[in-house]
Chains A and B, each alone.
Chain A
Amino acid sequence: MGKKTPEINSSSTADIAFLLLCYFLMTTTMNQDMGLQRRLPPIPDPNQKVEDQKVNRRNIIIVKINSADRLLAGTEPMHVSQLKDKIKEFLSNPANDPNLPEKNEIEIEGYGPCMVSKGVISLQNDRGTSYQAYIAVQNELVKAINELRDEWSMANFGKPYAALDEDHQTIARKAIPQNISEAEPKDINQK
């Protein structure tokens, strides 16, 4: 037994590992999917009559984007950067203005009675609107709601919305609901 086993030459393991590494770099992706999440309204039943689902005029704000990506919120044209404050004012209605949405008291489980705004944001767009402008507007709407939730959480729980635990987040979501209605498409330009 005088013979020693010769050592295996391991200098090529690095090369093999590099090859494998290159293979995985080529075939895999690392993108994280992020985006704005929405729930589409279900298709109304054609047999069902159009109910008097009329929302009170003061409770609705119509945000329109035309084919040139110009924005109209309520009655006045504005820039996207102004939209957030407009929506916040609309939803919070701090001075109980009769032209802004009414609030009604809702019993929230785990919190108690709370004044919840009945405001609905109706978003309408043209077929020629660019997707970029549409997302920018959607983003501003979500930002307004997120800021309201933050303020509400700070006032009630002393923490921003993101730092709350699951139950409190649900309460905050109920207190400041995200009522964005993406209207049925209509052709504005077709006459």
Chain B
Amino acid sequence: MSKFKKSGKKEMPGISSGSLSDIVFMLLFFFMVTTTMRETENKVMVKLPEATEIAKLERKDLTSYINIGTPVRHLQAQYGNDARIQLNDSFKTVDEIRDFIAAERDAMSEADRSFMTVAIRADENTRMGIVTDVKQELRRCSALKIMYSARKTAE
């Protein structure tokens, strides 16, 4: 008798999820192309200083990184919270930069060696003392092309 009887035929049609995998694959390829593998684990906290006149690094494969900053929280008990230098995956002293640069240089092909760049990624609250030591050591190893890593100033 009711006017509003349920009609069993009018169900919502299910959304086809056949193309879902295509969309996800597309995302996947996007990320595979635009990103690079993370090579080292950061052991120091680095908050880069801000700058406006920064240029992009052309050859990422010819770049060695020197991280300078205070150790991350869970390593502070072991290493203290003084600024430390991190090369590859471990804390190093200024004297060990020489070996590091030599090793990085050996890994490059002959033609590329003159284009080697050393990127100094130092925390903005680091004192210049340690950075100056690093710079002097780099001069001694004649790794003269350097870059002070910075991030773009938010406008």
Binding site for B on A (CB under 8 A): 10-11, 13-14, 16-18, 20-21, 24-25, 27-30, 32-43, 125-132, 134-136, 138-139, 142-143, 146, 182, 185
Contact = CB atoms under 8 A, between A and B. Distances in A.
Q: Which 8 A-B pairs have the closest CB atoms?
A: A127-B129, A28-B35, A132-B124, A17-B24, A13-B21, A14-B21, A135-B49, A129-B128
A132 B49 contact: yes
Given A34-B149, A42-B142, A185-B136, A17 B28 contact: yes
Interface in B53-75: 53-57, 60, 63
A131 B125 contact: yes
B144 interface: yes
A33 B37 CA distance: 14
B34 interface: yes
Given A21-B28, A40-B138, 18 more contacts: A24-B35, A25-B31, A32-B56, A32-B57, A34-B54, A35-B51, A35-B147, A36-B55, A37-B145, A39-B144, A39-B145, A40-B135, A40-B145, A130-B128, A131-B49, A132-B124, A134-B131, A135-B150
Given A10-B18, A43-B140, A182-B135, A35 B150 contact: yes
Contacts of B27: 21
A30 B147 CA distance: 19
Nearest to B68: A131
Contacts of A143: 52-53
A28 B37 contact: yes
Number of contact residues on B: which range applies? 35 or more
5 contacts: A17-B25, A43-B139, A131-B125, A131-B131, A135-B51
A24 B28 contact: yes
Interface of B: 17-18, 20-21, 24-25, 27-28, 31-32, 34-38, 49-57, 60, 63, 117, 119, 122-129, 131-132, 135-136, 138-140, 142, 144-152
Given A131-B49, A135-B148, A30 B140 contact: no
Nearest to A139: B51
B35 A30 contact: yes
A16 B20 CA distance: 11
A127 B57 contact: no
A28 B63 CA distance: 17
A21 B32 CA distance: 9
Contacts of A18: 24
Nearest to B146: A38
